[in-house]
Structure 1
């Protein structure tokens, strides 16, 4: 009893820096906004899942937000270097990652890529020493997301159309021209179009992930084009397109879908949404904890997480997200050395 008391006494007088050193420290450079914004709820929700997992895994998580400003994002290397975390989590949007990785790894701080990885060319350009501090990546299969969204929309319009051989006019709204996720989703869409000869891509434009920009662009295109399907690379743009279609009085003749599973969208507002990847920040916490514990090594992971909103789990998941009930989930169960280790999936995340 006396020994236990002495141990507790010693720990109570340890400096904060020592206690912090015993905890995994992670810094997340979030490219989005911390709350409601024109690009949707995706990035605030990414952070929500990361924090829930960090709490369960005893990880000290600090997040800074770029508010969709890639110039500001580049300056975050200074913040990381000042904080000296064990890992910096970076999203490769609009090509900013290379500069960040170069500066951060030069200070012997490990970097982990989330949702948008370095390209193979960017990775190969790293020096051997930089490569030592590249802690891997976690991305979803964005090609599949783009393909699945087009497939679900196409199936829906064929189901309601007596002449399945007639041409189907698709308008595509892309996020940007440089992010790996945006490029891969566009490639998925193009693959589906190539496989289906009755599809006519009448226009393809970038709306910068923005609800307002999508609204403005679709409003203009509707004045001179007949559209059957609007394919959007995220839900915010899909919602902007929906508003434009409603204002034009054409809501009954069009199917609109997006990607993200944003929780601020009323049920039925979109014809279909593809998502699930909003949870991957939580899985990143699991992978980093395993590296820190030396249970696993750095690796590039492409995780099959995407599902469409017509699956049974969708409504249950979205209800839990809106009510912020994922604190009920034990994220330690996704550690590979857990006694009852589970696969990281939408179904296993739903805790009633």
Structure 2
């Protein structure tokens, strides 16, 4: 039996790239979402083939939308006998600071992803590699761009379809995420600026759905009663958009016809809703930040430090997912199998002539 096991292991090692096996290292990612949540599930599934192609031992721990559990998970990781080489965290509900302190004391190099420090947190934690030496950098998609893109497209679609109020204007209600997470506040800020720049738009009210479908449904019910001329809902996530749509349909409205909705995400469900016309404006692509963070760690681990490009990168990962892109995305990745993406082409270590990262999914969605 032992010989059979040894033979199987030997075969696997023989088939694997010697370079990758020789340079394998470990990364723990603290996923702030729920394990069954479409967006955070897609983040993990996109990271897995990247880790496999780059020879990274990846472990994903879910906090199930509990920011205190995120801190607890990091504490558990720091107390392990065999600590990971790297930790990836998200500054969800501003919990990133406490996680960073724990990791720094344990000597674990840390990359902050998706949502980094803003405002008062910058004054407290400074910049990477200064006060906290093991905080090596951050990779944060431009959340404000997601808000701007989806807001502009929502208004454009309302005009195209003639979904305006009796005053000829588009009356919008915004369902934001939460008041603490920088990504949430930046998405909202991008949308609010876009609406404010258009005199034909009336932003009636902003509410905070806390990323919850049921809460967004209740809020949408109240907003439709309060503002009878409401034409559109801007939502910071697909789940909150679904909740608002459920409220609208219960009130006899038709999503995509007399009441329009926008969303931010790229789950198969929301992509199909975009194709069906129930979602009129959709931005997505930021789920790739986790995998691209692994590419940065891979390069850093092999001596290609990203310092020359900046310690806090803000790539334009968000794309407006129109009908064509939504269809291509569903055809290529509808089952959330991302193994066909060549993550090695993004690596500066594997492509020595590459001077700047080109993190984007435009090529995959052509």
**Scaled by the length of structure 2, what TM-score is found?**
0.84
Given that 1:239 and 1:270 are in contact with CA atoms closer than 8 Å, whether structure 2 keeps it comes out as no
C-alpha distance in structure 2 between counterparts of 1:132 and 1:162, whole Å: 54
2:207 maps to 205
Q: How does 1:125-164 map to 2 (within 5 A)?
A: 125-126=124-125, 130-161=131-162
Give CA deviations for 1:283-341 in whole Å, capped at 9, x if unaligned.
Answer: 11101101111112452110111111216333212332222332122211110243486
Given that 1:329 and 1:350 are in contact with CA atoms closer than 8 Å, whether structure 2 keeps it comes out as no
1:4 maps to none
Given that 2:163 and 2:170 are in contact with CA atoms closer than 8 Å, whether structure 1 keeps it comes out as no
1:189 maps to 191
Report how far residue 247 of structure 1 moved. Answer: 1.0
2:335 maps to 323
2:116 maps to 117
Structure 1 spans left out of the alignment, 5+ residues: 1-7, 13-18
2:294 maps to 285
2:224 maps to 222
SS of 1:303 mapped into structure 2: coil
C-alpha distance in structure 1 between counterparts of 2:72 and 2:163, whole Å: 56
What root-mean-square deviation, in Å, do the aligned CA atoms of Structure 1 and Structure 2 show?
2.5
Structure 2 spans left out of the alignment, 5+ residues: 1-8, 14-19
SS of 2:317 mapped into structure 1: coil
Given that 2:32 and 2:62 are in contact with CA atoms closer than 8 Å, whether structure 1 keeps it comes out as yes
Given that 2:173 and 2:223 are in contact with CA atoms closer than 8 Å, whether structure 1 keeps it comes out as no
**Runs of 4+ residues deviating >6 angstroms:** 162-165
1:295 maps to 304
Once the two structures are overlaid, the 10-residue window that deviates more, 204-213 or 322-331, is: 322-331
C-alpha distance in structure 1 between counterparts of 2:138 and 2:131, whole Å: 15
What is the total number of aligned residue pairs between the two structures?
332
Work out which of the residue numbers 217, 232, 235 in structure 2 matches 1:232: 235
